[in-house]
Amino acid sequence: MEKTEKILTLKNGIEAQVMDSILNEKEIPHIIHSYHDSAYDGIYQTQSAWGYIEALPEYAKKILDIYREMEDNLKTE
């Protein structure tokens, strides 16, 4: 089994949901990890980052391109 790596840090849960939906639609294998810690009720999650996307290295460029396109679309709206 190939080793996955951290590809992209996510700022919030909405980014995570949108990216998950797009990556699933494009059939790009990935894992979304949340930094949520129930012991601290997610307090540090809002101060730093929400979480990250992990995937095989060969999908890194596609994932980053999709993320940039998503960000650009949000800025123009």
pLDDT in tens, 44-77: 555 668 899 999 999 999 999 999 999 998 777 6
If one counts every other C-beta atom within 10 angstroms of the C-beta of residue 4, the result is: 15
- Residue 77 has a pLDDT of 65
- Residue 76 has a pLDDT of 74
| Amino acid making up residue 18 | V
For the chain, what is the domain count?
A: 1
Share of residues in the chain with pLDDT > 90 (%): 64
Contact in structure between 22 and 69 (CB atoms under 8 Å)? no
| Average pLDDT estimate for 10-27 | 95
Residue 16 lies in domain: 5-76
Task: Walk across the sheet containing 5-10 and list its strands.
Answer: 5-10, 51-55, 31-34
- Residue 37 has a pLDDT of 62
